[in-house]
Amino acid sequence: MRTSNEMAIFAGRSGNEAAAIDSRAFASVETMRPLQSFLSKRDFWHLQELRRECAAIEGGVFPLLSHLIRAKLQDAYILNPKEEAGNVATLGSRVTYSIRGTAPQSRTLFDHGFAHDQGGIPIKTFLGVTLLGMKVGQTVQLLNASGTTEPLELVAIPWQVEAK
């Protein structure tokens, strides 16, 4: 397993340059807080598992993704089953979203068992983590792997998974 410094050297950067990039990216998560989200118990559990997976991988975008998930979990409002249906993006929901005010796109949020070529968004991405738990009409900052952000709006939820 490579450390972030080894990955940076492998990518042609010194360890000090990598540390500066990492610290700026981590700081960008803190400036986004609180990360207002509304999670079902099931989605909260899935994010906890994903955070553990990402935290175990050194280098690349995984430490930053783990940091984003940790902040999201700490700031989340946990829905009771009666609140889960409707206007909150959950795993399995078909969501329509817009990045930087561009034309809206519709995709399905998924964790496992969904092929990428079927137009889904895995929650193992910055976009997936950010969309999960958003309410229709909500605009938040979408974090990129470089630590920069751009506005993300949840426009609609054309199809919603029923609460269990």
In the chain, where the domains are located: 4-159
What confidence score (pLDDT) does residue 152 get?
A: 97
Predicted confidence (pLDDT) at residue 114 exceeds the cutoff of 70: no
Q: List pLDDT tens digits, range 27-49.
A: 777 777 788 899 999 999 999 99
Region 130-145: mean pLDDT is 93
CATH 3.10.50.30 fits 4-159, yes or no: yes
Residue 153's SS3 state is: strand
Residue 163: which pLDDT band, with cuts at 50, 70 and 90? Answer: low
Predicted confidence (pLDDT) at residue 97 exceeds the cutoff of 80: yes
| DSSP letter string, 89-137 | --TT-EEEEEETT---EEEEEESSS--GGGTEEETTSHHHHHHTTPBTT
Average pLDDT, the chain: 80
Dihedral pair phi/psi, residue 60, rounded to 5°: 65, -150
CA distance 60 to 160: 33
- How many CB atoms are located within 10 Å of the residue 29 CB? 21
Q: What is the pTM of this model?
A: 0.80
